[in-house]
Amino acid sequence: MKKCSNPSHPHCTLWVVPGEVACASGHAQTAPAPSSYDLLRGVRGARADSAAALGGAGAPARDAAAKGHAHLHISGFDPRAAGGRQTLKMELRGMPNGCAPQITMQLQSDLIPHGAARQQFVRTTRGDWRPVFVEFSSRDKEHGQYQIEVEVRSQAEGKAAQKWVCTFVILVPRLDATLTEIHQIFLSTHKNVRVMADDASIARVSTQAGASFDLDVTARNAGIAQVDLSAPQGKIDMGFTTIAWDEELIEIDVPGASRAHPHPSRAACLVNAAPEAGAQRQVRLFALEECVLGRFELVDPEADILLSHFGADGQDTNGLTRRLSGRHAVIRRGNNGFEIEDISRYGILLDGVWPGKHKPTPLRLGMRIELSASIKGITVLSVTAIMPHGVILHRIDLGAPAECFYLLAPDKHPGYPLPNFIAASNAAALPLMFHHDGGFWHLDQLTGKETALDPGASLDKLTRVAKHSRFAATPYPESWIIRNDGGNGHSTLAPAQPSMLTA
């Protein structure tokens, strides 16, 4: 507290609480002049802000985080394990608050299996990020320095995409290298190297008196850290449990801001004319909440998946095909996974048994679906893959070389780590597809690379089955399909292009 500071009432002796605009007598108070302590605090704050802006060593990690400087904290690397298995613990620090709750990290390096790996950071309820672990092996790798390139991407809903990058170096020493050589070389190739002891472990550094090492030895959680600089001449012993350092993430511009798909679509087709496929196959893609299976019609069909009978002479759009209902069955995603429901006049058989009309039945791997129940062999399908974001159906009748079907949940990414979906042999070689950002994507399960599918996309470098394929913007590019748009007088056409299909 202080006395009244009104210059017009110098004899007022009333005490005033700091922050009050007037004393008890109503005398207005003037703003106090800054004290020397306030000036010193301001100078210190300005210095801290400058250090953080320049990224200097004097700016603590928490200050950098407060100023929005993103860092990737890397720990757990042990260069002594030359030719063995390694695990890196990677933590995000100082990320902006506007990031998506899940952030994707792509790593590329010759050390990582298949040359690339993808991980996903998840925000915890405390606001920080759950760490991820990256495993690799230096077995049969030539000793030397290996770069690991990191790309961190955030795609929050309704916001522009953000991307950060950094590159760091991992040392793979010779198998016969001494600990002294390993540590000296490691220090020369990294910054902010720390020797740490966590969780009741021991960190010990012993070296000659007078030797110069830039070490930060830390012991936490009942760990023990010891530094001995009085060892006898010629003797140097070093021991450490882990090495950790920070890499600053540099934000870069993302072309296009948002990851809008170049060709939004809910139904499309991969036309595969590869000789190794045996015959041309249409891989038909659908991304619908409910996918209706029904009779093939060229004009105003009622179904999404248009089925027809295949005989010895090929497709027969009349004859037995007329014994399929326009809306024969529907496949949807239920509470317990994907399920099928009979909505037809003629019925369906699931593994030889009629489930009953309007009774949803869960799909299972290998399930045999026959349309219809009254006449067998019109159309027979098999569930050849069950994934978290969709199912794959193959024809197992005479139409098997002609088409198969992807039924995908709309705008659903399969997530990371990549799913090991349950698939039969005839679906295992097919590419992994998903629907996101309004369109279809191919996902390379080895590298995690995502390729947007559109008519101009090059598919030669995808999987073996997709090689020599092209993307069609309609699920039935080989036929003219006229669909009325809800009775509004509009129609859409899928043109037949036989010259392209038989190329």
Residues 190-230 pLDDT 10s: 544 556 666 666 666 555 555 555 556 667 666 666 666 56
Residue keyed to tokens 């920080």: 128
Please list the alpha-helical segments (H only) found in 393-435. Answer: 425-428
Give per-residue pLDDT as tens, 40-50: 455 445 544 54
How do 202-208 and 224-231 pair as beta strands?
A: parallel
Tell me 412's DSSP state: B
For residue 253, what are the contacts with CB-CB under 8 A and spacing of at least 6? 163
Phi, psi dihedral angles at 217 (to 5 degrees): -100, 125
Nearest to 284 by CA among 303, 306, 300, 299: 306
pLDDT on residue 39: 47
What's the alpha-carbon Rg for the chain, to the nearest Å? Answer: 33
Residue in 480, 483, 475 with CA at minimum distance from that of residue 498: 480
Token reading at 373? 């129940």
Sort strands 439-443 and 432-436 into parallel, antiparallel or unpaired. antiparallel
H/E element, 184: helix 179-189
| Residue pLDDT, tens place only, 245-280 | 888 999 987 654 445 788 889 999 988 765 455 556
Contact 120, 416 (CB under 8 A): yes
Q: Where are the alpha helices (DSSP H) in 392-460?
A: 425-428
Structure tokens at 68: 């929005």
What confidence tier does 431 reach under pLDDT thresholds 50, 70, 90? confident
What are the angstrom distances between the C-alpha of 10 and each of 4, 29, 348, 463, 483? 8, 12, 100, 89, 91
